[in-house]
Copies of this chain bind each other. A is one copy, B any other.
Amino acid sequence: MPIFKVVSKKKINGKVKKIFEDIKKTRKINKIPNFWKTIANDPNTLERTWESLKQIMKKGSLDERTKELIYIAVSMTNSCEYCILSHTLAARKKGMTDNMLKELIATVAMANETNRLVESYQVEVDSFLK
């Protein structure tokens, strides 16, 4: 078995158990998603990732839904299937509608097109942008 599976139940103790409880409470869920159960193979990475995400994704100048939309946009650009699915679900819970998702996808796809137009034509930076 070359790569890690989700942690077995008997390994969910100590730091891992505490973080899993915090995830359930903060996210209001009963079941820990595979993402967390898999990176729990490395408790330091689990802890660092959870603490970072909690800080970054909470309401600030941007609301939580907008942050989820940004997360999806990155995941779509990187073609990360799991990430698209899990953050789409998270965004829906925060009020993202079908129409919002469609507009998000259209924007992501178009941005990927014009990014390549800019790089292909090697557009010079306008002086008012510097």
Q: Mark A residues whose CB is within 8 Å of B.
A: 2-4, 6, 31, 33-35, 38-39, 41-42, 44-45, 48-49, 52-53, 55-57, 60-62, 66-67, 69-71, 73-86, 88-89, 92, 97-126, 128-130
Contact = CB atoms under 8 A, between A and B. Distances in A.
A29 to B, nearest CB: 10
Copies in the complex: 6
B112 A115 contact: yes
Contacts of A83: 111, 114-115, 118
Contacts of A114: 35, 49, 53, 83, 109
Given A52-B110, A67-B107, A2 B115 contact: no
Contacts of A3: 84-85, 88, 101, 120-122
